[in-house]
Structure 1
Amino acid sequence: MLIHHPAMSRSTLTLGMEHLVRLPPFSNLLPPCLPSPSPTVPASQVPRLFREPYILSGYRPARQDWSCYFLSIFQRHNESLNVWTHLLAGPMLLLCWWANVQTLGFTLDLASLPLCVFLASSLTYLFFSVVAHLLQSHSERAHYFFFFMDYAGVAAYQYGSSLAHYFYTSEPAFRQSVAGLLFLPRAALLGWLSCAGCCLAKSRYQRPYPLRRKICQLVPTTLAYVLDVAPVAHRLVTVSWTQEPSLAFHALHIAAFLLAALFFSCPIPERFFPGRCDFLGQGHQLFHLFVSLCTVFQLQALYHDYARQRDSVVEVFGERQLWWACVTFPALFMCCILTALLTMRHVNKQLLGKQKKDS
């Protein structure tokens, strides 16, 4: 029970309430033996490589101890939401998987292998994205290395999506069409080209980035996605939506991806509000949010497709094709990792030459 004292002014009460609601940062609750991340700094105090267009503050200083970047997961900086959107998407996917297992059932066998590969590829890209955005501020070498690994994770996700779409969503008419012939080999090739194109664009072009860099990134990535989603698009226009519960989720998955592509390609809304979206609302954060939603909708759709097709998948495609298709997933992933490491080797030579020139 609060007793209002006559001598207590309204301003005193206000200050008291502000003190009650002003909670300390989570990082202050960490044990004092752990290193504390340095306060964020404006763009002018970090290397040009780290600066994002229209993001003027909230950068973490370079060259701190590695543990500071790990602990910065609890710090407010301009990468915080990029980390947390994909960090939370992983448990959301697993929860969605568990809920579908309870309602639609699941058997770990050859018929379910493409679905398992899709889940693994989704968790892979989310993991590499979280690591990249959390640790890239350590140094220029770290920045390049972790984002190259991020591109490898995206390529793995693209091919994992292709596998699941082909074996669970595609119609016989699509598999016999021009787009369906050699669908999986082309999906693997475009997945690798997506990774290689992003690595090349990142390593070759310096800020301020020319339009050629965005083209080098987007062309192979767009081609890979158009091919990956082709079985879904064909099914959406040839099958009645009222008969298939998965089609609504497929439509949501495509819509979320298109919104993600928009925010990835254009620095909006920060372009119109420079400095006001440094911590919340920048385009890349929205890109992460819609990509996460895209993956959740996609898993929900594919699980329904799997439940519908699981009794006939092996009969329709054959054991050999299923095994070979799924074995190519780790092979593609290793090719992408190797591409990233070879590009990193070239970048290391560039950085070493730059250091010698500066000294």
Structure 2
Amino acid sequence: MLSLKLPRLLSINQVPRVFHEESIIFGYRHPRSSATDCILSVFQLTNETLNIWTHFLPTWYFLWKLFALLYTLDFWNEAFAWPLIVYMLSCCIYPFASSCAHTFSTMSSRARHICFFFDYGALGFYSLGSAISYSAYIMPDKWVNSTFHQYYVSVAVLNTIVCTGLSCYSRLGLPFVHYNHDTIERLLELDRPKLSKILRVVAFAYPYLFDNIPLFYRLLLCAGESCAHNETIPVHYRHIMLAFLTAFLFATHLPERLAPGCFDYIVGHSHQLFHICAIIGTHFQMETIIKDMTLRRSWLIANSPLPTFSGTIGAVCVSITLSCCIICAFSISLYWKPNFSKKAKKE
């Protein structure tokens, strides 16, 4: 009986362009779904079902890891653990935000944009969480207390703002100027899809590449005893490999581009694989951060200043506040329609 109540699915020709996914032909939900319909669709095989579950289930795994760490670490009295807690919070938030975005993105075209604005903001927070933990535990020995190390987290905060702003811009263009004189919405994502895709890839890739400068140096260029070579190195390589595979899948839309309509539901289209690779990569990253924290603990406490409130919780608060301001500006602009009627009458 439940199957009779599930929302009806549509083809690509039955939904507006803003809902189209490249090379995905069938399995679209109604573009004016109610919140109840969106929740019911989680238990229905649509072209979004696996996108939702591949991030919703890992959220609980990362939450379990977070609570396990809170139980074993003296978080309140040990500043050395603060970066790890911040990182674990970001690991919980970004997959949950993504699963919510995919779940409720068909309530309307505006809701779709707003959902993914928050998804992008959560990814920016994850980037900052990675940078804060890398600053505390991953930095090569010879870079500890260097000028780069001192400004590393501050630049990462700026990168988070750039990531959120550029990814939101890749959907709409400039806020408050995406309506023409007929009050018809003009989206950068629809008008210039290739540029939109390039901007979004850059928005996600640039913070990742910056965050991993210490790790790239430690793995590829550093030689000698001051490079912190230890048993985490092979796992770091796995994380990096999965990160680049994730970027490749996101940018290329393979394999569905080779056979449109064949990967609409099952595991196989790029966004599903992108989610899976991202989660596995995050798992490996988490394991390396925890191991480096444990193995290098004595040396780091003796040679590096302890993490500060401003460099961890404070940086997160600043980043979240500014990112929310950007998201609000883009979201409000979706409802802002300039009144051209008086101007038209004068002309």
Q: Same fold (TM over 0.5)?
A: yes
Q: CA deviation at 1:186?
A: 1.0
- Please give the alpha-carbon distance, in whole angstroms, between the structure 2 residues aligned to 1:287 and 1:58: 19
Q: How does 1:93-108 map to 2 (within 5 A)?
A: 93-95=62-64, 106-108=73-75
- Please give the alpha-carbon distance, in whole angstroms, between the structure 1 residues aligned to 2:337 and 2:271: 28
Q: CA deviation at 1:72?
A: 1.4
Partner SS, residue 212 of structure 2: helix
Q: How does 1:173-192 map to 2 (within 5 A)?
A: 173-175=142-144, 179-180=148-149, 182-192=151-161
- Paired residues in the alignment total 319
Q: Which residue of 2 aligns with 1:226?
A: 209
Partner SS, residue 41 of structure 2: helix
Greater Cα shift, 221-230 or 86-95: 86-95
Q: 1:266-310 deviations in whole A, cap 9, x for unaligned?
A: 111010001001112111111111100111111111110111233
2:101 aligned with 1:115, yes or no?
A: no
Greater Cα shift, 89-98 or 209-218: 89-98
2:278 aligned with 1:291, yes or no?
A: yes
Bigger Rg over Cα:
1
- Please give the alpha-carbon distance, in whole angstroms, between the structure 1 residues aligned to 2:29 and 2:247: 27
- Please give the alpha-carbon distance, in whole angstroms, between the structure 2 residues aligned to 1:81 and 1:251: 27
Distance verdict in 2 for CA 1:101–1:341, change over 3 Å: closer
Q: CA deviation at 1:206?
A: 3.4
Q: Which residue of 2 aligns with 1:262?
A: 248
- Please give the alpha-carbon distance, in whole angstroms, between the structure 2 residues aligned to 1:169 and 1:298: 11
Partner SS, residue 292 of structure 1: helix
- Please give the alpha-carbon distance, in whole angstroms, between the structure 2 residues aligned to 1:90 and 1:249: 21
From 53, 61, 65, give the equivalent of 2:22: 53
Q: How does 1:1-359 map to 2 (within 5 A)?
A: 27-28=2-3, 36-95=5-64, 106-108=73-75, 109-175=78-144, 179-180=148-149, 182-204=151-173, 205-207=188-190, 209-237=192-220, 238=222, 244-280=230-266, 281-319=268-306, 321-326=307-312, 327-349=314-336
- Please give the alpha-carbon distance, in whole angstroms, between the structure 1 residues aligned to 2:170 and 2:303: 41
Q: 1:142-180 deviations in whole A, cap 9, x for unaligned?
A: 101100000100000000000111100102323466754
Distance verdict in 2 for CA 1:329–1:312, change over 3 Å: farther
Tell whether the 8 Å contact from 2:58 to 2:279 is kept in structure 1 after alignment: yes
Tell whether the 8 Å contact from 1:270 to 1:276 is kept in structure 2 after alignment: yes
Letter in 1 for 2:321: M
Letter in 2 for 1:245: E
Partner SS, residue 349 of structure 1: coil
Partner SS, residue 289 of structure 1: helix
Partner SS, residue 182 of structure 1: helix
Distance verdict in 2 for CA 1:177–1:313, change over 3 Å: closer
Q: 1:226-269 deviations in whole A, cap 9, x for unaligned?
A: 11011222222336899622222211111111000000111110
Percent of paired sites with the same residue: 25
Greater Cα shift, 87-96 or 135-144: 87-96
Tell whether the 8 Å contact from 1:162 to 1:187 is kept in structure 2 after alignment: yes
Partner SS, residue 244 of structure 1: coil
> Superposition RMSD on alpha carbons, in Å?
2.6
Letter in 2 for 1:41: L
Partner SS, residue 187 of structure 1: helix
TM-score (norm 1): 0.81
Greater Cα shift, 175-184 or 46-55: 175-184
Q: 1:57-110 deviations in whole A, cap 9, x for unaligned?
A: 1000122321110121111100111111111212333455678899xx633221
Tell whether the 8 Å contact from 1:314 to 1:322 is kept in structure 2 after alignment: no
Q: Which residue of 1 aligns with 2:180?
A: none
- Please give the alpha-carbon distance, in whole angstroms, between the structure 2 residues aligned to 1:118 and 1:207: 35
Partner SS, residue 319 of structure 2: helix
- Please give the alpha-carbon distance, in whole angstroms, between the structure 1 residues aligned to 2:30 and 2:295: 52
Distance verdict in 2 for CA 1:236–1:261, change over 3 Å: same
- Please give the alpha-carbon distance, in whole angstroms, between the structure 1 residues aligned to 2:63 and 2:326: 30
Letter in 2 for 1:83: I
